[in-house]
Amino acid sequence: MTETTDKKSVRILMSAINGYGYYYLKTLIEEVPESQAILVGVIDPEAQKSGHYPWIIQRNVPVFSRMEDFFRAGLSVDLTVISSPPQYHVSQAIIALSNGSNVLVDKPLGVNIKSVRELIVAAEKFQRWVEVGYQWTFSNAIQSLKKDILQGRYGRPTRFKTICLWPRDYNYYNRNSWAGRIVDPLGQAVLDSPANNACAHFLYNLFYLLGDEMGTSAMPQQIDSERYRAYRIENYDTITLRARTKKGTEVLFFASHVTENDRNPEFYLEFSKGVVQFGGTHSQIIGEFNEGNEINYGSPEDDHQFKKLFDAIKRVREPGPTICPPEAAIAQTICINQVQESKNPIINFPEELIIKKDDRRWVDGLGERMGKAYENNSMISETI
């Protein structure tokens, strides 16, 4: 990918090119033709640490530590891609919108409801769109499933649940200054947790599939949660959550970073006319009707992880509907805020149950217990 003056090319500004942002830029460089998009700016105070930095310097792409400085320099873009730490997502998105750019911002969208609502207002004011990068939402499998749900093929949704057990090591929590924290060293809320970071896609997916229209989500209500930790962190590394939507559907979520073994994301959706399941013995999303017939939607992993980037570029070039706007993504923010404000304290797992190895720790028997809770539609405390 080389710089071009082709007026049809979407001009892109990338905020953060280390961490996950490295892979956004890698995808842009290696898989997006220059006739479709070009990189015209980078925002990252530590850009020199990125493996892409020599490429950026060679092509004279301007680099700034702050997004404000990029636009103050008189530069402009069509699309801003934001994968900076979560506490900067909304503020950077609003800056980009106010300078005439559309926005693709990675999950989670924001750390509080007020700021997300301010972002929604800004998008309307400046007549630009925002996409939130929950990649499952952009997959053909999830889009097809939601269309069938909205058409009533499965009847009334009664219970949606998902589980994801992804062990993490010490390096995961030491990789930056905000991992596992409620507030970062500068005093900014970050609310980092399995539910708001690594496993956030799968929690959000439940609310998205329950939305009344394609670009909407159901809003969580009556949220109960249990939070636990085995690592010496500020926030939790394990959670079970139960919520209800306005229409009465029960939503259950199970996630942990301190089980001995992986359990990749699974979901089980119950309706009056059938069930839909994915994960475990189902490598693809399978809809099963009470009458016995089935639909195979494929897997949400079948599509490119950065389909969200391809779709955002396409939308700049060919206007179309927003897949995951902030009005939908705020469901995740509402859920996380209510969990964080719960009167129930974070519980430390008993030391005698914590297995400590050189590179990580896990809780003896936790994976089995969470699996049982998932099967029984119960919280950890309700499972013996």
Instruction: Dump pLDDT digits (tens) for 189-210.
Output: 999 999 999 999 999 999 999 9
Q: pTM (2 decimals)?
A: 0.95
**Model confidence pLDDT, tens digit, residues 31-60:** 999 999 999 999 999 999 999 999 999 999
Query: Which H helix or E strand runs over 131?
Result: strand 130-132
Residues with Cβ within 8 Å of residue 256, at least 6 apart in sequence: 165, 166, 194, 228, 237, 238, 239, 366, 367, 370
- Rounded to an integer, what distance in angstroms lies between the CA atom of residue 62 and that of residue 59? 9
251: three-class secondary structure by DSSP: strand
Helix boundaries (H) for 294-357: 307-317, 326-340
Structure tokens at 329: 């993504």
Strands 79-82 vs 102-105: parallel, antiparallel or unpaired: parallel
Name the CATH superfamily, with its identifier, for domain 139-301+326-382: Dihydrodipicolinate Reductase; domain 2 (3.30.360.10)
Instruction: Give the phi and the psi of residue 71 in degrees, each rounded to 5.
Output: -75, -30
Give me the DSSP letters along 142-206. Answer: HHHHHHHHHTTTT-SEEEEEEEEE---BHHHHHSSSSTT-SB-TTS-B---SGGGTTTHHHHHHH
Q: Which residues of the chain have pLDDT under 50?
A: 1-6
- Rounded to an integer, what distance in angstroms lies between the CA atom of residue 263 and that of residue 232? 23
Tell me how many helices (H) and strands (E) the chain has.
12, 17
DSSP designation for 74: T
Structure tokens at 361: 């720790």
The domain 10-135 having CATH identifier 3.40.50.720: the answer here is yes
Instruction: Give the phi and the psi of residue 254 in degrees, each rounded to 5.
Output: -135, 125
DSSP designation for 350: P
pLDDT value of residue 8 = 81
- Rounded to an integer, what distance in angstroms lies between the CA atom of residue 331 and that of residue 246? 12
Listed in order, the ranges of the chain carrying CATH 3.30.360.10 are 139-301+326-382
Amino acid at 215: G
- Rounded to an integer, what distance in angstroms lies between the CA atom of residue 263 and that of residue 261? 7
Instruction: Assess contact for 122 and 102: CB atoms under 8 A.
Output: no
Mean pLDDT over each residue of the chain, to the nearest integer: 96
pLDDT value of residue 384 = 66
pLDDT value of residue 7 = 54
Listed in order, the ranges of the chain carrying CATH 3.40.50.720 are 10-135
Rg (CA), the chain: 21
Cβ neighbourhood burial of 36 (10 Å; 0-12, 13-18, 19+)? middle
Which of 292-298's residues contact partners 24+ apart within 8 Å by CB, and which partners? 295/148, 297/141, 297/142, 297/144, 297/145, 298/140, 298/141, 298/144
